[in-house]
Amino acid sequence: MVYTFACPAPCSRVIMVDAHDDDDAITKIIEAGAINCRKIKKTSCCEKVPHLPPLPEKKLREIVQLCMNLEHCCGS
């Protein structure tokens, strides 16, 4: 299944992952977002946003779950 997650403003990135279920998608979206943000940190619009303290993992997973969408499901 393909899931998407649109990063909140001011970032305009959309993260797409192939996952087995919602929990797998949440984990993959968080990992993809973290990896990508580290890679593009010097050119990212995220640098314009004041530094925020890290969220507890449970809260981060809840936010991602609320904002992600199931785009395509094969074989169901």
More confident residue, 56 or 49: 56
Residue 22 pLDDT more than 90?
Answer: yes
Summarize the confidence of residues 30-38 as an average pLDDT.
79
Domains held by the chain: number: 1
Q: How many CB atoms lie within 10 A of CB 76?
A: 4
Which range marks the domain in which residue 15 is found? Answer: 2-72
**DSSP-derived secondary structure for 3-18:** EEEEPPTT---EEEEE
0.95 surpassed by pTM: no
Band the pLDDT of 55: cuts 50, 70, 90.
confident
